Structure formats: C-alpha cells, structure tokens
C-alpha cells in the first residue's frame, strides 16, 4: 500500500472539517466578539469617529465577506497586525511558538513515558501493593487542580520560603552575549517540566493501565501464556504492541489540548512569553487578529493530528485498510 494515498484521502476529508471549525470560531469570537471601535476611539467619540474606525476594522462589511477574508488570510498565512501589540501577528507567532515548544516538550514526553512505565508496572503486578500504590498516586494526581500543583511546586522549589533552587518567573535563557544557554534553559524549564510530569502521570497512568489489563485478558494472550511463551515476549509482542493504537491516540490527541490549556496556564502563571501567554493577553484585550490566528492554527493542528493518527494506525495494525 502506498503511503501517500491514505494521506491524501485524509487531507481531502479535512477540508470541510477546517471550514466548519473556522466558521464556528469566526462567528463566536469575531463576528459576535467584542467591538473594539469604542476602545480605540477614546473618550467621547463622535458617531463619525466610530464609523471611521469600524470601516477601518472592517466591521461594516457583510458576514460572508468578512469570513471569506478570514479564510484568505488563513490560506496566505498572513493574519495582519495585532491590535494589542501593534506588530505583525506572524512575528508574534514566530517568536512565541518556539518558546512554547521548548517549554512543553520535555514535560509532555517524560510525563507520558513515565505514565506508560508505571502503567506497565501496575498491570504486571495487578492486585499487589505495587499496583495499589501506583493507582493511589494516579488518583491523587487527578484530584488536585492544575493551578494548585503549579503554586505548590513554585513555592517548594522556586520561592525564597522553599528551596529557592529555580527562578520564580521569567524566561531568561540567553547568556550575556545573547546566545542560547542550555544551563539557563534547564534552570527555567525544570519546574514547569516537573509540574507537567506530575499532572500527566496522574491523568494518564489509569488509562494506560486499563488498556493493558484489558489486553492481558484477551484469548490470544492467555493462549500464548498457556503454550509457555516467555513473559517478556508475550508482553511486548502480544500485549504492548496491540495497545499501541490506544496509546498513540491518547498521546497525539493530548498535543492540542496541552498547547491550548497547559501552555496558557503555565506561561501566564510563570510569565513565559510563549503562545499561551500571547493567547491569554489577546483574550484579555480582545485582540481579534491574534485570536483568529490561534484558533485557526489549533484547528489545523487537530486535523494534522487526525491524519498522523490514521497513518500510525496503519503502521501498527494492518487491519486498518486503505479506503
């Protein structure tokens, strides 16, 4: 089977999904969003002043025309000028997205790796004190608010009343010459990474364990064990491999949620200039060009995740045939 055929098929299916998501997002956040003309007009504006600003912002255009312009911006990847920062949205994205990737990637990867490892440990010792300890920690991690976890780690590891080992806020990862400093990066990323690992283990370990335990009870696994196959071989060939579909789904679909939710909370709390902080300030200021860009790119990211998941499914499971 040629790899490009299912890819092209999924991309063709993605076009109406992108149109639908962007249409709903545009309607709720832009067309019915905050009217910035009063804020830009200043105190005691005249009706002529308001109409001039609304004409400049495009508020006087028909709905379909405004949506068509929005799609044209998306196709050209040109989202205009930010109303809040008064600079190109593209330049804001170019400077903030790498920061978010550097911030979120270590905690995201390590969190899922540790969650899978603990789930395997719990499933292989099902019913023992090891299993109960891992599940107790998972429930504990799920029960605590993400905000409480951030505050707790910050107080314990970064504040002067705690260990005072890491910076409380900021993202100063460059040396005196303006070059990227790996040691400074590790110093700033450690606390957010530990927070993400703590939360990820809490939310994902139970899911991964449930998937593994369900696969352990399948007939082919029981048969392989009855024929005397080595335990590790049964685990990696007949249990873990068959669970990869569920693991990949959980892993890939966590990416957009992590960017939208976790990045926004972490960056706004720690004052890190990534896409999350940009989005938070854009929401507070009603900066529509930035919000349009973030919503559009998030929708496209979801579509890419769907496409990637389909390709991974075909790789691990031959039952996913070409349409």
Q: Are 264 and 132 in a shared domain?
A: yes
Q: Are 161 and 300 in a shared domain?
A: yes
> Is there a domain that residue 306 lies in?
yes
Our count of domains for the chain comes to 2
Q: Are 71 and 96 in a shared domain?
A: no
Helix (H) or strand (E) holding 59: none
> How high is the pLDDT of residue 323?
47
Two tokens at 244? 């990869």
Distance CA 30, CA 20 (A): 15
> Is there a domain that residue 185 lies in?
yes
Question: pLDDT tens digits, residue range 170-209?
Answer: 898 888 887 889 999 999 999 999 999 999 998 899 999 9
> Is there a domain that residue 27 lies in?
yes
> How high is the pLDDT of residue 279?
86
SS3 287: coil
> Whole-prediction pTM value?
0.83
Of 55, 76, 97, the residue that ends a domain is: 76
Distance CA 145, CA 153 (A): 12
Q: Are 96 and 172 in a shared domain?
A: yes
Q: How far is CA 205 from the centre of its chain?
A: 18
- CA distances, 162 to each of 124, 175, 269 (Å): 38, 26, 18
| Helix/strand number for the chain, H first, E second | 14, 0
Q: Are 173 and 280 in a shared domain?
A: yes
- The answer to whether 121 touches 134, Cβ cutoff 8 Å, is yes
Length of the chain: 323
> Is there a domain that residue 82 lies in?
no
Over the chain (323 residues), the average pLDDT of each successive run of 10 is 61 78 78 70 75 77 85 86 85 90 91 93 92 92 89 89 86 85 92 93 92 89 85 83 85 76 83 88 82 82 76 69 52
Radius of gyration of the chain (CA): 24
Q: Which residues contact 250 (CB under 8 A, 6 or more apart)?
A: 112, 204, 207, 208
> Is there a domain that residue 219 lies in?
yes
> Is there a domain that residue 154 lies in?
yes
Q: Are 111 and 27 in a shared domain?
A: no
Distance CA 259, CA 295 (A): 11
Of 76, 100, 125, the residue that ends a domain is: 76
Alpha helices in 42-124 (DSSP H): 47-57, 63-76, 89-124
Q: Are 104 and 185 in a shared domain?
A: yes
> How high is the pLDDT of residue 5?
63
| Residue 81: φ, ψ to 5° | -110, 135
Q: Tokens 């679909």 — which residue?
A: 253
CATH number for the domain including 218?
Answer: 1.10.3720.10
- The answer to whether 286 touches 36, Cβ cutoff 8 Å, is yes
Mean pLDDT of all residues belonging to the chain: 83
> Is there a domain that residue 28 lies in?
yes
SS3 162: coil
Please give the residue range of the domain that contains residue 146.
89-316
Q: Are 271 and 292 in a shared domain?
A: yes
Q: Are 50 and 94 in a shared domain?
A: no
> Is there a domain that residue 198 lies in?
yes
Q: Are 61 and 108 in a shared domain?
A: no
Q: Are 187 and 208 in a shared domain?
A: yes
Q: Are 13 and 110 in a shared domain?
A: no
Of 76, 107, 131, the residue that ends a domain is: 76
């Amino acid at each position: 089977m040629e790899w490009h055929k299912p890819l092209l098929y999924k991309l063709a299916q993605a076009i109406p999904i992108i149109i639908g998501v962007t249409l709903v997002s545009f309607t709720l956040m832009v067309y019915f969003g905050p009217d910035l003309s009063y804020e830009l007009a200043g105190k005691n504006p005249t009706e002529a002043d308001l109409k001039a600003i609304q004409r400049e912002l495009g508020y006087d255009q028909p709905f379909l025309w405004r949506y068509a312009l929005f799609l044209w911006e998306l196709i050209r990847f040109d989202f205009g000028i930010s109303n809040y920062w008064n600079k190109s949205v593209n330049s804001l994205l170019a400077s903030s997205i790498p920061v978010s990737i550097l911030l979120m990637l270590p905690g995201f990867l390590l969190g899922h790796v540790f969650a899978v490892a603990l789930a395997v440990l719990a499933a292989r010792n099902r019913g023992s004190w090891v299993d109960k300890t891992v599940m107790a920690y998972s429930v504990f991690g799920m029960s605590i608010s993400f905000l409480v976890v951030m505050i707790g780690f910050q107080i314990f590891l970064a504040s002067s009343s705690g260990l005072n080992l890491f910076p409380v806020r900021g993202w100063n990862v460059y040396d005196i010459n303006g070059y990227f400093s790996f040691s400074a990066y590790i110093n700033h990323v450690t606390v957010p990474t530990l927070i993400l690992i703590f939360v990820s283990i809490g939310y994902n370990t139970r899911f991964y364990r449930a998937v593994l335990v369900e696969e352990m009870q399948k007939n082919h696994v029981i048969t392989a064990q009855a024929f005397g196959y080595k335990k590790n071989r049964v685990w990696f060939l007949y249990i873990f491999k068959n669970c990869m579909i569920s693991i990949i789904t959980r892993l890939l679909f966590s990416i957009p949620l992590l960017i939208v939710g976790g990045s926004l909370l972490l960056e706004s709390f720690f004052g890190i200039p990534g896409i999350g902080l940009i989005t938070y300030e854009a929401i507070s200021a009603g900066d529509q060009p930035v919000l349009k860009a973030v919503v559009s790119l998030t929708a496209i990211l979801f579509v890419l995740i769907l496409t990637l998941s389909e390709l991974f499914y075909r790789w691990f499971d031959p039952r996913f045939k070409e349409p």
